[in-house]
């Protein structure tokens, strides 16, 4: 018999949503919360679009974007599961945090706009998922519109994202003629009734594509069309295989419309069944199973607090084993100190409240006054370090210039500390005194500028710099590494953590240098 603790862990489903902006992530999140009874009426989750950003105050920026700590993690019960949905910022607030959040989940829901198919942000996010072979559910959205040929979209997913598609539901009609979805596994029609977008919709089902009810609902022509289409789909796609899904090589595909609230529940019902419970996590010493009773967890994100009265930061921790209880002592393994955690925050039903207990798979927020960094491990005493929570190579770079040159020390300190929070990275070229800031999302530059002003009393400006991408350099042959360092010195830098990086002016330059130095490794991620 599994203990009560093991059963509780087995109930957890911790996931994030990946999508291109505007595919419908916010809308689907809202519907998931509706089904989880976490909100009463859909339409209450704040939108995130504000157009142009004012740079007046970064706190205000957060408010304008409607982003708050409470939407960072949403926990809700559904059927006999406890679901943890981790927000993966996507619009202006897209950043390295988005990537790193994907290291803290056990599975992912990919939302695709049925009219657009696979878009570039989704490709990038899939690359991150592939680092850990994360299992992926797919929801193809906006069936209430005239969308693209579905088989073509599946084809695109298979060829571009390199994952097999196993459609589980199939849409019946689209746009104004959208009638519902057909379940290919159970031969059931789920009937769409318009006008139920913000409530839990009626669950009308018809058993059998060839039944009298199906005929009455759809008419002879549509039924025949559907039968033909389903035959085609079955021939052109894969049958769902749980092992392949869990290995990250196959994705079950569902269709629907988040806005009109249809097909989401049909997907969610399978999600809570098939998506993995918390999985074991690797450390430098050993694998930690989620059912281990001793507590452990790692930090994957640090967010400055939005409350102007409390300038603290919240460090988000993924619990990997055991339970957090209020007031417990944890070992901060990087600095080797025990600390007492009296006031962690949790996120039940989207509310930030003091947490009494959180177990494997859950997320808690720790108040951080500067001692906690991304990637830090906390345990009940054992000296472990969780691995696989990397820095990702930035995609945008700017040179930082001081307005007052006498404040160089403060600037360096500020940039260094803000980099430790993980949303930006600092690079110091070996051949000059530039300070280069790198980020994955464009908004981070504004945030850094603002926080340097507020928290470090430093005014800085940005200048363009000819860096296109960065790679961390490794080479086991020390003689060759020295040789490389000499020859490539103009494009080498030391990052905020003291690691050697190659800052490439162009992609072509990077390819050339990789070809020229086959023994040197150029990594796109770096472990903490
Ligand atoms: P996000 O950027 O991925 O979070 O996307 P949102 O959820 O904010 O949706 C972007 C836009 O698409 C909004 O205007 C939504 O109302 C709209 N939208 C979302 N889902 C659907 C859908 O199923 N059908 C239609 N027609 N529009 C949708």
ipTM above 0.90, yes or no: yes
Tell me the pLDDT band of 423, cut-offs 50, 70 and 90.
Answer: confident
The model's pLDDT over 282-317, given as tens digits with 9 standing for 90+, comes to 999 999 999 999 999 999 998 876 555 566 788 999
Write out residues with Cβ below 6 Å of ligand 1: 19, 21-27, 90, 141-142, 144-145, 257-260
Q: Return binding residues.
A: 19-26, 87-91, 141-144
Please state, for a pLDDT cut of 70, what percent of the chain lies above it.
90
The model's pLDDT over 207-264, given as tens digits with 9 standing for 90+, comes to 999 999 999 999 999 999 999 999 999 998 999 999 999 999 999 999 999 999 999 9
Ligand 1 atom with least separation from CA of 141: 23
Helix, strand, coil shares of the chain as percentages rounded to 5?
Answer: 30, 30, 40
11: closest CA among 363, 365, 361? 361
Residues 380 and 109 sit within 8 Å (Cβ to Cβ): no
Strand order in the sheet with 353-354: 337-341, 328-332, 377-379, 296-304, 313-321, 363-368, 345-346, 353-354
Distance from Cα 24 to the centre of ligand 1, integer Å: 4
Tell the residue nearest (CA) to atom 25 of ligand 1: 142
Please state, for a pLDDT cut of 90, what percent of the chain lies above it.
76
114: closest CA among 80, 82, 91, 148? 148
- Per the prediction, the chain carries an average pLDDT of 90
Tell the residue nearest (CA) to atom 10 of ligand 1: 22
Residue 44 has pLDDT above 70, yes or no: no
**pTM confidence score:** 0.92
Residues 252 and 138 sit within 8 Å (Cβ to Cβ): yes
> Which residue pairs, CB below 8 angstroms and at least 24 apart, start in 242-246?
242/274, 244/164, 245/135, 245/136, 245/166, 245/274, 246/135, 246/276
Residues 322 and 297 sit within 8 Å (Cβ to Cβ): no
Tell me the pLDDT band of 404, cut-offs 50, 70 and 90.
Answer: confident
Residue 17 has pLDDT above 60, yes or no: yes
Distance from Cα 43 to the centre of ligand 1, integer Å: 12
Tell the residue nearest (CA) to atom 17 of ligand 1: 24
Ligand 1 atom with least separation from CA of 257: 23
Ligand 1, residues 16, 17, 27: which to mutate, most atoms within 8 A of Cβ?
Answer: 27
What's residue 54's pLDDT? 28
Ligand 1 atom with least separation from CA of 145: 26
Burial letters for 249-272: b for 16+ Cβ neighbours within 10 Å, e otherwise?
ebbbbbbbbbbbbbbbbbbbebbe
Residue 47 has pLDDT above 50, yes or no: no
Ligand 1, residues 22, 112, 120: which to mutate, most atoms within 8 A of Cβ?
Answer: 22
- Class of residue 113 by CB neighbours under 10 A (exposed 0-12, middle 13-18, buried 19+): buried
What's residue 311's pLDDT? 64
Distance from Cα 251 to the centre of ligand 1, integer Å: 22
What's residue 454's pLDDT? 87
What's residue 353's pLDDT? 54
Burial letters for 23-43: b for 16+ Cβ neighbours within 10 Å, e otherwise?
bbbbbbbbbbbbbbebbeebe
Within the chain, how many helices (H) and strands (E) appear? 13, 33
492: DSSP letter: E
Residue 352 has pLDDT above 70, yes or no: no
Tell the residue nearest (CA) to atom 15 of ligand 1: 24
The model's pLDDT over 371-380, given as tens digits with 9 standing for 90+, comes to 899 999 999 9
Distance from Cα 141 to the centre of ligand 1, integer Å: 8
Average pLDDT over residues 1-15: 92
Q: Return binding residues for GTP.
A: 19-26, 87-91, 141-144
Distance from Cα 68 to the centre of ligand 1, integer Å: 20
Residue 67 has pLDDT above 70, yes or no: no
447: closest CA among 48, 62, 101, 49? 62
Q: What does the alpha-carbon distance between residue 379 and residue 332 come to, in Å, rounded to a whole number?
A: 7
Ligand 1 atom with least separation from CA of 30: 7
Ligand 1, residues 89, 178, 259: which to mutate, most atoms within 8 A of Cβ?
Answer: 259
Tell the residue nearest (CA) to atom 9 of ligand 1: 24
238: DSSP letter: P
* DSSP output for 407-434: GHHHHHHHHHHHHHTTSEEEEEESSS--
Ligand 1 atom with least separation from CA of 91: 2
Tell me the pLDDT band of 165, cut-offs 50, 70 and 90.
Answer: very high
């Amino acid at each position: 018999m599994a203990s009560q603790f093991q059963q509780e862990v087995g109930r957890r489903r911790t996931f994030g949503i990946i999508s291109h902006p505007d595919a419908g992530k916010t809308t689907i999140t809202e519907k998931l919360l509706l089904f989880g009874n976490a909100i009463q009426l859909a339409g209450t989750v704040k939108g995130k679009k504000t157009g142009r950003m004012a740079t007046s105050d970064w706190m205000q920026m957060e408010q304008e974007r409607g982003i708050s700590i409470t939407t960072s993690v949403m926990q809700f019960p559904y059927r006999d599961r406890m679901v943890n949905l981790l927000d993966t910022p996507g619009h202006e607030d897209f950043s390295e945090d988005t990537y790193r959040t994907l290291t803290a989940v056990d599975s992912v829901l990919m939302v695709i706009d049925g009219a657009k198919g696979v878009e570039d942000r989704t490709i990038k996010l899939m690359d991150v998922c592939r680092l850990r072979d994360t299992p992926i559910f797919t929801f193809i959205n906006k069936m209430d519109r005239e969308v693209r040929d579905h088989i073509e979209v599946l084809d695109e997913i298979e060829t571009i994202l390199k994952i097999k598609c196993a459609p589980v539901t199939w849409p019946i009609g689209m746009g104004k003629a959208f009638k519902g979805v057909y379940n290919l596994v159970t031969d059931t029609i789920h009937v769409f009734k318009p006008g139920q977008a913000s409530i839990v919709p009626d669950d009308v089902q018809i058993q059998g594509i060839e039944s009298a009810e199906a005929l009455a609902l759809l008419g002879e022509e549509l039924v025949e069309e559907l039968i033909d289409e389903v035959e085609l789909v079955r021939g052109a796609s894969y049958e769902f295989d749980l092992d392949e899904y869990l290995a990250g090589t196959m994705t079950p595909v569902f269709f629907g419309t988040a806005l009109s609230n249809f097909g989401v529940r049909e997907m969610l019902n399978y999600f809570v069944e098939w998506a993995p419970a918390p999985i074991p996590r690797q450390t430098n010493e050993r694998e930690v199973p989620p059912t281990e009773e001793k507590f452990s967890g790692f930090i994957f994100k640090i967010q400055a607090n939005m409350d102007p009265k409390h300038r603290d930061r919240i460090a988000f921790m993924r619990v990997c084993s055991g339970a957090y209880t209020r007031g417990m002592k944890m070992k901060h393994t990087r600095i080797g100190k025990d600390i007492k955690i009296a006031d962690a925050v949790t996120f039940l039903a989207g509310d930030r409240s003091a947490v009494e207990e959180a177990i494997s798979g859950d997320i808690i927020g720790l108040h951080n006054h500067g001692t906690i960094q991304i990637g830090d491990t906390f345990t009940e005493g054992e000296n472990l370090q969780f691995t696989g929570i990397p820095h990702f190579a930035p995609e945008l770079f700017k040179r930082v210039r001081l307005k007052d040159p006498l404040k160089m020390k403060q600037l360096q300190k500020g940039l260094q500390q803000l980099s430790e929070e993980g949303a930006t990275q600092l690079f110091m070229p070996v051949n000059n005194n530039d300070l280069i800031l790198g980020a994955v999302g464009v908004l981070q530059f504004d945030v850094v500028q603002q926080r340097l002003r507020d928290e470090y009393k430093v005014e800085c400006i940005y200048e363009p710099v000819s860096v296109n991408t960065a790679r961390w350099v490794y080479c086991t042959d020390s003689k060759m590494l020295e040789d490389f360092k000499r020859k490539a010195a103009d494009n080498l830098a030391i990052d905020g953590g003291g690691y050697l990086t190659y800052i490439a002016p162009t992609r072509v330059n990077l390819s050339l240098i990789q070809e020229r130095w086959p023994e040197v490794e150029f990594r796109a991620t770096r472990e903490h």
